[in-house]
Amino acid sequence: VSVIEGDAVTIEKAKEDAEMFGPENMAEETLDDGFALTYTNKGGMGTNYWVKVVRTIGDKQFDCSTTAHDEDQQKAAVEFCKSLTK
């Protein structure tokens, strides 16, 4: 989890950034204070399960992102990111 410095990140920007990885199965969820974006892609070691959750907590925007090993880990990561509070 990190604070986003500079321009705010939008779902459109996150999807544009994901394009360099050849995303498949992209899903997005609008949150009250941001968004969650998940997708998969094929890499040298098999399928990668990407997570990018951006939330505004207080007056700061936070990036909670990871690459998981499977769909269950991907879902758990999204739930963790959605659980963050002040």
pLDDT tens per residue, range 62-82: 999 999 999 999 999 999 999
Q: What is the pLDDT of residues 8-40, one digit of tens each?
A: 899 999 999 999 999 999 999 999 999 999 999
**Overall size of the chain counted in residues:** 86
The CA distance from 74 to 38, in Å, is 8
The CA distance from 24 to 39, in Å, is 6
The CA distance from 1 to 12, in Å, is 20
In this prediction, residue 76 carries a pLDDT of: 98
In this prediction, residue 45 carries a pLDDT of: 87
**69 Cβ partners below 8 Å, 6+ apart?**
49
DSSP classification of residue 6: S
Phi/psi of residue 23, nearest 5 degrees = -65, 145
Q: Check whether 42 has a pLDDT greater than 90.
A: yes
Confidence of residue 44 (pLDDT cuts 50, 70, 90): confident
